[in-house]
Structure 1
């Protein structure tokens, strides 16, 4: 669950103190790019797993 209220303000204050206000846009952009890459990788892995499952089902011999 995401922090809300005072907890969120404390986290934002700590981030500003650690990185400085000038670096926050660059940090946010980097986090956004990393999140996008993770989603893309997850989607590729799911696609490959689905293809493997389909290949296995197609190769199964039918019992007569």
Structure 2
């Protein structure tokens, strides 16, 4: 508890017994115990409230994340599912012929 071992605790109790006296020591120990109990309860309450809030945020994050993941998955599948038609080359049996040169009217003039 608080990084204090048994020998240190005994020294603290002996000093408290000498300073406070045997008549008031039980009363002070009782009030310290009550204070520690209240502190523990309030810390537990704060921890539970924090866990509730984080779980609410986690639920909202999942609600927002799921549609985004589905859209990303569909986009990824559509990209890799079909090859683009421009990459497919089809050639017919005949080769393309070159275009005829334009008529040059300067020679006739």
Report the TM range for the smaller structure's normalisation. 0.7 to 0.9
Where does structure 1 differ by over 2 angstroms across 4 or more consecutive aligned residues?
10-13
Give unpaired runs (5+ residues) of structure 2: 71-109
Q: Which runs of 5+ in 1 are unaligned?
A: none
Which structure has more helix as a fraction of its residues?
1
TM-score (ref. length: structure 1): 0.79
Rg comparison, structure with higher value: 2
What TM-score results when the alignment is normalised by the length of structure 2? 0.50
The size of the alignment, in residue pairs, is 62
User: Highest relative contact order (Cα 8 Å, sep 6+), 1 or 2?
Assistant: 1
1:11 CA drift (Å): 2.6
- 1:15-26 equivalences under 5 Å are 15-26=16-27
Separation of aligned partners in 2, 1:39 and 1:15? 23
